[in-house]
Amino acid sequence: MTSGSRVGPYELLAQLGAGGMGEVWKARDTRLERTVAIKFSHAAFSDRFQREARAIGALNHPNIATLYDVGPDYLVMEYVEGGPVRPTDDTRKLLDLAIQIADGLATAHAAGLAHRDLKPDNILVTKAGRVKILDFGLAKQTAVPGEDEATLTVTQPGTVMGTVAYMSPEQARGEEVDVRSDQFSFGLILYELATGRRAFQRDSVPETLTAIIREDPEPLPDSVPAPLRWAIGTCLEKDPANRYDTTRGLHIELRRLRERLTESAETVPQPAHRQATAPPAGHWRRRAPWIAAALPAAGLLALAWVHFGETPPLPTAPVRFLLPAPAGIDPTGTFALSPDGRRLAFYAKGLRGVREIWLHDLRSAQSRRLEGADKSVGTPFSFSPDGRFLAVQQRFKLTRFDLSGGMPGDLATWKSQWGAVGTAKERS
């Protein structure tokens, strides 16, 4: 094929790309006088292209390249004048790109279509800022998670298909994938857009595949808002069951985050030197001892107050932010933020269905259950000023939990009887 050649009513103008599966050309539709992109298939992939045609033809979305026509060995698609999505330091621009990508993916996923080769080169951005998802060449008809439907497999199980750097763990192992595999690839793309580097950049293909399957990426920088770090972390869960139930839910979460950021920028003055990891701990009293916040006032006559020092001065204005719950966790209301803004403690019902204390690291976007606090259901808790410890009331004692992994210890115990006066005694 050369420039000036004709394929049916289409005149070839310039080659846009070539690969193992075929070539892509910029062309002119002589009937409608419009510019199009034609993707030619090598003979071995003709069946695959027919499947791609059925997949793309079922979609109609502004963030997915439109399919115009199908030939015996080519597809005629919308010509997108733009470049691949690239990293940005602008959080709102990043969110706008993320929302558009998620919206397009959610539509495809709702139709049971997984892309399976999602990467920056397959996501173009026009001059007007419109995202277009391209190349569903590896897409397969798949059941939406939770539905008992037949699947149409493009490749045999055990065959690794896709671009290595943006594969999901299950894809890297050659396993069957569903739409949640695209969520992992999407998380890798967001990670790269936010940091300018790949999450799993290794020297060889085997090392990259091993890292995707077994390792965690470096924590996202503090410049990335905590809720966005949390969303990316959920996408990058190794187990598909721990990712989002639906990509539409992910899209809604990203959209709400953008709304909160816009609302804050319009209504709330920003402090000059605010930490990006999380808002300041506004629930702390300036000079109040931290243990006092964890003990009930009723029934206590004497209390050994322990003063660990002053908390930082409060900011001049509040800062609003959104923290979506981790997958499989149902927060129940009570929470506390550490003074350094790095940890959030909250009550939640986990996978066991029991109300427990959970800790969320706002830097790594990882959550874990607080071990040993099973007797503190519904009771108050409070961080130490340095954020290293959490004081939790457990029946008739106050326990200090070392969040770095040390053994818990009792800070105070007391006894209470009906009609009697309760006392508290500090233990050294």
pLDDT digits (tens, 9 = 90+) for 200-223: 989 888 899 999 999 999 999 989
pLDDT > 80? residue 24: yes
Q: Which of 216, 214, 213, 117 is nearest to 162 (CA)?
A: 117
pLDDT in tens, 154-168: 444 444 455 789 999
Q: What's residue 286's pLDDT?
A: 33
Q: What's residue 359's pLDDT?
A: 81
Least confident of 100-114, 145-159, 262-276, 359-373: 145-159
Report the alpha-carbon distance of residue 52 to residue 399 in Å, rounded: 60
pLDDT > 80? residue 95: yes
DSSP state of 136: -
- Calculate Rg over the CA atoms of the chain: 27
Least confident of 230-234, 264-268, 280-284: 280-284
Burial 319-358 (b: 16+ CB within 10 A, else e): beebbbbbbebebeeebbbbbbbbbbbbbbeeeeeebbbb
Q: How confident is the model over 81-95, as a mean pLDDT?
A: 94
Q: How confident is the model over 307-323, as a mean pLDDT?
A: 46
Comparing 74 with 129, which gets the higher pLDDT?
129
Q: Are strands 422-426 and 300-302 parallel, antiparallel or unpaired?
A: parallel
Q: How confident is the model over 337-353, as a mean pLDDT?
A: 75
What DSSP line would sit under 191-239, residue for residue? Answer: HHHHHSS-TT--SSHHHHHHHHHH-PPPPPPTTS-HHHHHHHHHHT-SS
CA atoms within 13 A on the CB side of 143: 8
Close Cβ partners of 45 (under 8 Å, ≥ 6 residues apart): 21, 22
Q: How confident is the model over 75-81, as a mean pLDDT?
A: 91
Q: What's residue 12's pLDDT?
A: 96
Q: Given pLDDT bands bounded at 50, 70 and 90, which one contains residue 301?
A: very low
Q: Which of 164, 424, 46 is nearest to 410 (CA)?
A: 424
Least confident of 213-222, 237-246, 332-341: 332-341
Domain 5-78 falls in which CATH fold? Answer: Phosphorylase Kinase; domain 1 (3.30.200)
Least confident of 65-79, 361-375, 389-403: 361-375
Strands (E), 110-150: 113-114, 123-126, 131-133, 140-141
pLDDT > 70? residue 414: no
> Hey, is 363 helix, strand or coil?
coil
Q: What are phi and psi of 373, to 5 degrees?
A: -105, 30
Angle at 156 between CA 150 and CA 160, to 5 degrees: 120
Q: Given pLDDT bands bounded at 50, 70 and 90, which one contains residue 25?
A: very high
Comparing 377 with 117, which gets the higher pLDDT?
117
Q: Which CATH class is domain 330-424?
A: mainly beta
Q: What's residue 269's pLDDT?
A: 46
* Percent share of the chain, pLDDT over 70: 65
Q: What's residue 156's pLDDT?
A: 41
Strands (E), 251-304: 300-302
Specify the pTM: 0.60
pLDDT > 80? residue 315: no
Q: Are residues 397 and 413 in contact, defined by beta-carbon separation less than 8 angstroms?
A: yes
Report the alpha-carbon distance of residue 58 to residue 144 in Å, rounded: 15
Q: How confident is the model over 213-242, as a mean pLDDT?
A: 94
Which residues are catalytically annotated?
A: 117
User: Kind and range of the H or E element at 254?
Assistant: helix 247-267
Comparing 110 with 427, which gets the higher pLDDT?
110
Q: What's residue 275's pLDDT?
A: 41
Q: What's residue 140's pLDDT?
A: 54
Mean pLDDT of the chain: 76
Q: What's residue 119's pLDDT?
A: 94
pLDDT > 70? residue 141: no
Architecture, CATH, for domain 82-139+162-261? Orthogonal Bundle (1.10)
Q: Given pLDDT bands bounded at 50, 70 and 90, which one contains residue 293?
A: very low
Q: Where are the domains of the chain?
A: 5-78, 82-139+162-261, 330-424
